[in-house]
Structure 1
Amino acid sequence: MTRVLSVGQEPETVDFSDPSLPPGSNAEKIQAGIDIAKTTMTERGWNGDTCMIAPDDSGIATLATQLASVDYDCIVIGGGPRLPPKGLPLFEKVVNAIHQGAPKAATAFSTPPEDTAQAAAR
């Protein structure tokens, strides 16, 4: 069975005033998208896990722990750690943690969380 991990930034830690984020974004919309993504992965017959991280080194430690616990076929990095230009250092740390913790897993990128399954399918 396909095993997918979705990595995103904890919604309550996102700076929604950042103009690089999609207009109208908020923690509730992100959580709703995460819920849709989980349902979509289950409908595809996949085991889908979510790892929401803080935008600091504790988040990278959380991700490393998750990666050490399961072998994933694909890891999807969401827009939270990837989109805001000021988040580039976090994004680099996420990519490096994935490279170290799951070197055989494919990597994909989603922008709205509800597109996680589509990103993993690519």
Structure 2
Amino acid sequence: MAQGRVLVVGLDPDRLEGWDPEPVREAIARGRARLDEHGIDADLCLVPVDDTTEGLVVEALTRKEYACVVVGGGIRKHDPYLELFETILNLVRRHAPDAAIAFNRTPEEMAEAALRWLR
């Protein structure tokens, strides 16, 4: 069993315009199952891209103590979300300073990203 709790911060597929949410929802479910397979206690913080995002991330970061925060590729890889990515990293640094920060390439890789820092 992995040591420590993980927070996964990603984009909420149901609240993004121009995306088919179903394949993303399915990928998130597969990623969640992989976390469970590895015995990783994890919370998901799926956010919209609007004026509520920062507050939702702060609320999630301060709800529990996290050993690792995984920031999803949807936030990190898309140029329009560069400022959002910076904001999230700084929020993690401020509100969960002892947490490792990890990055996944796809929602299915949540567990692998976290495991790089939990063991």
Q: TM-score, normalised by structure 2?
A: 0.87
What is the aligned partner in structure 1 of residue 5 from structure 2? 3
Q: Is the 8 A contact 1:33 1:114 kept in 2?
A: yes
Counterpart of 1:45 (choices 39, 42, 60) is: 39
Structure 2: give runs of 5+ residues left out of the alignment: none
Report the Cα distance in structure 2 between the residues aligned to 1:58 and 1:52, rounded to whole angstroms: 12
2:4 partner letter: T
Once the two structures are superposed, what CA deviation does each residue of 1:63-120 show, in whole Å capped at 9, x if it has no partner? 1001111001111000121111111111111111111111100001112101110111
Counterpart of 2:66 (choices 41, 48, 72) is: 72
Q: TM-score, normalised by structure 1?
A: 0.85
Report the Cα distance in structure 1 between the residues aligned to 2:38 and 2:20, rounded to whole angstroms: 27
Equivalenced residues, count = 114
Structure 1: give runs of 5+ residues left out of the alignment: 17-24
| Identity within the alignment, % | 34
